[in-house]
Amino acid sequence: MKNYRITVNGNTYDVQVEEVGAFASAAYSHAPAPAPMPAPAPAPVQADAPAPAPAAAPASAPAVGGTEGNIKVTAPMPGTVLDIKVNIGDNVSENQVVIILEAMKMENEIVVPGSGRVSSINVSKGDTVNSGDVMITVQG
């Protein structure tokens, strides 16, 4: 058994370590460590043709259809769109469920804050959204 004093974040601990197993005596050799071997020379690298540049991502998700309305239905939390209950052009009333959003393994009903006509749907079923993302707009 070996005793060690270890300091972690300013706290000092006295610990005992028991050597077990077939390699215990070989693991604590008092012989000097052998000199490190030199690293092998790197293999020559041939220059390939440059990879094509990736296409630039759009700054914001395009509307699936329609024009932007003045009432915005945003994601209250990150999640996955399970269902869209309305279509572009549908009339909706205040507090009507328009999207089912799965977040933290729960289905959340997302309602429209005002009445009007659905102008755009900016998400599709299966899309992942972040908190604050505009999912639907309504012209009130």
Full pLDDT tens readout for the chain, 140 residues: 788 888 888 888 888 887 776 555 444 444 555 566 666 666 665 655 555 555 544 444 444 555 687 899 999 999 999 999 999 999 999 999 999 999 988 999 999 999 999 999 999 999 999 999 999 999 98
Query: How high is the pLDDT of residue 26?
Result: 46
Query: How high is the pLDDT of residue 55?
Result: 53
Query: How high is the pLDDT of residue 9?
Result: 81
Query: How high is the pLDDT of residue 81?
Result: 95
Contact present, 120 and 137 (Cβ < 8 Å): yes
Instruction: State how far the Cα of 51 lies from the Cα of 76, in Å rounded to an integer.
Output: 39
Can you give the residue ranges of every domain in the chain?
Answer: 71-139
The CATH architecture of the domain made up of 71-139 is: Beta Barrel (2.40)
Instruction: State how far the Cα of 129 lies from the Cα of 135, in Å rounded to an integer.
Output: 8
- Centroid of chain to Cα 82: 18
Nearest to 100 by CA among 125, 121, 72, 131: 125
Query: How high is the pLDDT of residue 57?
Result: 45
Please spell the DSSP secondary structure of 103-129, one letter per residue.
ETTEEEEEE-SS-EEEEEE---TT-EE
Query: How high is the pLDDT of residue 44?
Result: 63
Query: How high is the pLDDT of residue 54?
Result: 54
